[in-house]
């Protein structure tokens, strides 16, 4: 049987005496695109961070290609970080670094043999692809929220990942910028990348995802296929509004 790229087994997370995620169970296979949808505060971002190994669960285990993330050694962890990348809902760009430094860092860590010229060429390539056209020697505070999103997206692409975790990555963007990023993700989808994303944008969900996981109050309340929502208007409205049956 094929090993899932990412698997969450019985994941629960408690913080400050609050159950944030309860018994989440998801297996994501190579090349699949899965959307996490649900109301605000339901736990989508938290679940995505858990799946990406960025938060340690209170109980349960997350597996990357069958290996528990919690027992990975440094080199396995570095390999996982290289193969996967994350776009944070709030972009999470370093305030005290220039955009160039922010984009350079993953390349410096994962490809120390790269020359400065090669790094710059790669950075320019991902920025152009993402549609960021301004200078790089400025700080995130000098960007609009949408431009920060473009840099966060470019940073996630810079090491050419195979697994993408995207949290509301088209939020704050105008229609054409949003279309551009969706097109990039679609291309990556065709290349066999595995994509897990959070979105409130129904057309993005419909266009990209094969599986839709509805999260309500920190629990995976149901899973539906995109085919279901195209054939069932009531279900489509539930996904759009983030409500369950």
Ligand X SMILES: Nc1ncnc2c1ncn2[C@@H]1O[C@H](COP(=O)(O)OP(=O)(O)OP(=O)(O)O)[C@@H](O)[C@H]1O
Residues lying near ligand X in the complex (CB under 6 A) are found at: 15-16, 18, 20, 38, 40-46, 89
Instruction: Please state the closest distance from residue 228 (CB atom) to ligand X, in A.
Output: 22
Q: From Mg ion, ligand X, none, which one binds at residue 20 (CB under 5 to 8 Å depending on kind)?
A: ligand X
DSSP code string of 176-190:
HHHHHHHHHHHHHHH
Taking the least distance from each CB to ligand X, the nearer of 40 and 73 is: 40
Nearer to Mg ion, 193 or 199 (CB): 199
Stretch that binds Mg ion, among 13-21, 85-93, 95-103, 172-180 (CB under 5 A): 85-93
Minimal distance, residue 89 CB to Mg ion, in Å: 5
Shortest Cβ distance from residue 90 to Mg ion (Å)? Answer: 9
Region from 4-12, 88-96, 135-143, 150-158 binding Mg ion, contact rule CB under 5 A = 88-96
What letter would DSSP give residue 128?
Answer: H
Question: Per-residue b/e over 86-102, b at no fewer than 16 CB within 10 Å?
Answer: bbbbebebeeeebbbeb
Which of positions 37-56 make contact with Mg ion (CB under 5 A)? 45
How many chain residues touch Mg ion (CB under 5 A)?
Answer: 2
When CB distances to Mg ion are compared, the closest residue is: 45
Q: How far is the CB of 135 from ligand X (least distance, A)?
A: 31
Between 4 and 43, name the residue whose CB sits nearer to ligand X: 43
Nearest CA-CA partner of 36 in 201, 245, 235: 201
Nearer to Mg ion, 63 or 88 (CB): 88
Q: Which of 16, 17, 15, 21 is nearest to 62 (CA)?
A: 21
Strands 67-68 and 211-216 turn out to be unpaired
Please tell me the distance from the alpha carbon of residue 23 to that of residue 32, in angstroms, as a whole number. Answer: 22
Choice between 159 and 213, CB closer to Mg ion: 213
Other Cβ atoms closer than 10 A to 237: 12
**Shortest Å, Cβ 116 to ligand X:** 37
Neighbours of 203 (CB within 10 A): 13
Three-class DSSP category at 97: coil
CA 11/CA 218 separation, integer angstroms: 10
Catalog residues that contact Mg ion under the rule CB under 5 A: 45, 89
């Amino acid at each position: 049987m094929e090993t899932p790229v990412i698997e969450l087994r019985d994941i629960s997370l408690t913080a400050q005496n609050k159950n944030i995620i309860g018994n989440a169970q998801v297996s994501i296979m190579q090349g699949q695109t899965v959307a996490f949808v649900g109301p605000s505060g339901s736990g989508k971002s938290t679940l995505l961070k858990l799946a990406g190994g960025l938060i340690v669960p209170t109980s349960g285990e997350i597996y990357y290609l069958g290996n528990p993330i919690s027992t990975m050694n440094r080199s396995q962890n570095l390999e996982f970080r290289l193969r996967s990348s994350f776009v944070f809902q709030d972009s999470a760009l370093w305030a005290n670094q220039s955009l160039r430094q922010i984009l350079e860092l993953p390349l410096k860590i994962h490809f120390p043999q790269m020359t400065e010229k090669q790094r710059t060429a790669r950075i320019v390539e991902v920025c152009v692809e993402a549609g960021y056209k301004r200078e790089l020697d400025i700080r995130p505070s000098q960007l609009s929220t949408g431009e920060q999103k473009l840099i966060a997206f470019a940073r996630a692409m810079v090491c050419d990942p195979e697994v993408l975790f995207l949290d509301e990555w088209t939020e704050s963007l105008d229609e054409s910028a949003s279309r551009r990023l969706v097109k990039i993700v679609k291309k990556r989808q065709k290349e066999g990348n595995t994509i897990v994303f959070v979105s409130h944008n129904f057309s993005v969900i419909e266009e990209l995802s094969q599986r839709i996981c509805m999260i309500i109050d920190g629990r995976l309340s149901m899973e539906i296929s995109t085919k279901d929502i195209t054939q069932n208007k009531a279900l489509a409205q539930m996904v759009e509004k983030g409500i369950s049956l």
